[in-house]
Amino acid sequence: MKKFDTVLFDFDGTVMNTNEVILRSWQHTFQTIENREEDEAKIIATFGEPLDVTMGKFFPDMPRDEAVEIYRSYHRDNFGDLITVFPGMKELLAEVKIRGYKTGLVTSRLLHTTQQGLEKYELKDYFDVVVTAEDTEKHKPDPEPVNIALEKLHSLPGNSIMLGDTMFDILCAKNAGVTSVLVGWSLALKSGDDFGEDTPDHVIKTAAELLELL
């Protein structure tokens, strides 16, 4: 089995269950702009994509900054109350650190709410580096976010593994030459889906299963 020394994690939908706050923020945005709710499946299909990009697809005729602020204002006001850590994830992070692996968080989320989530659940010390949307010019599925994390950790792609819940995460890892792992609690992807050439290297059903791959 490949020898890993670095473990990278996505934030939304992987470490932190932010599904409810994201869905509610989008529905608030649709209600405010178009006085309607959107089909949840269409929203879920955008999970992992940078907010600004998705906003342009959903509301092409709306000034981007205005639409983003409608979303973010609701998101900021409700974020802390609507997020939880996925079962077993905090224990996994603790064990990974105990075993001496280098760790990184790679997210398309902004730094403020990322830190808010990490601090609320006392997860901050489990990550050696945190790469957010504000640290990159290109975003997932481009490899830049992962490449930045690896550079900061002085790690090689071949010795690194990344967990994620969306195709943006899987492709970001693959494009960077990092072993990709799909988490089984993903809303966006299911282990039985036909991924074609983009099939994740591994799929885990529980957080603890990662330890078997390491």
User: Is residue 57 within 8 Å of residue 40, measured between CB atoms?
Assistant: no
Is 12 annotated as catalytic? Answer: no
Dist. CA 21–CA 78, nearest whole Å: 7
Query: Taking the alpha carbons of 152, 158, 160, 164 in that order, is the dihedral positive or negative?
Result: positive
Query: From the candidates 5, 10, 12, 39, which is the catalytic residue?
Result: 10
Q: Any idea how long the chain is? A: 214
φ/ψ (deg, to 5) at 37: -105, 150
Q: Pairing relation of β-strands 16-17 and 6-9?
A: unpaired
Coil, strand or helix at 132: coil
Q: For 138-205, what is the HEC assignment?
A: CCCCCCHHHHHHHHHHCCCHHHEEEEECCHHHHHHHHHCCCEEEEECCCCCCCCCCCCHHHCCCEEEC
Distance (Å, whole) CA 104 – CA 131:
8
Catalytic residues: 10
